[in-house]
Amino acid sequence: MNRIRIGGAEQADEATRNALIDKVIENAEVDIPDPMVEEKLNDMMQEMGWRMQQQGFSMEQYLSMLGQTPAQMRDMYRSEAELTVKTELVLDEIVKAEGIEASDEDVDNLLAGYAEPMGQTVEEIKKSFGEGQMEFFKHRAAVTKALDMLWETAKVTEELHDPKA
């Protein structure tokens, strides 16, 4: 799950939303298929490789600097991959159980967040995407609606902690 860094009240609101999602995921009982975890690990390693290339390193050089093997790196990120897969499975199940569907407007609103920084319109960015990419964004928009539904129906309480306790 991508977490956005923002300031002030928005940051507090986002932190509360993230805590809600964490609680929902924590309380969910899900069988996590090993192949899905392995696929997520592959994605994470590939993304890490791209980030290293942008910084002028190969993945092999990066691993050498850390003194790790690819297997050790995968083991280090395994719990994160498992949590990501569990989160995706739980959110997909909420979308399905609640019959949540994304409208064209929902997808356009999501795409606007990608188009604006690239200096493009939503229509321009849509033309550059294939059918598979548009399905991805339609699914992301449905998940966003599920998250909004969770937020709207949640009872958020404030816990006060005594710093002396």
CA within 13 Å, CB half, 134 = 13
Whole-Å CA distances, 70 to 42, 52, 77, 80:
11, 14, 11, 16
Three-state SS for 86-152 is HHHHHHHHHHHHCCCCCCHHHHHHHHHHHHHHHCCCHHHHHHHCCHHHHHHHHHHHHHHHHHHHHHH
pTM value is: 0.71
What pLDDT is recorded for position 90?
92
pLDDT per position as a tens digit, 63-119: 999 999 999 999 999 999 999 999 999 999 999 999 999 999 999 999 998 888 888
Q: How far apart are CA 155 and CA 159, in angstroms?
A: 13
What pLDDT is recorded for position 159?
54
Q: Helix axis angle, 59-66 relative to 34-54, nearest 10°?
A: 100
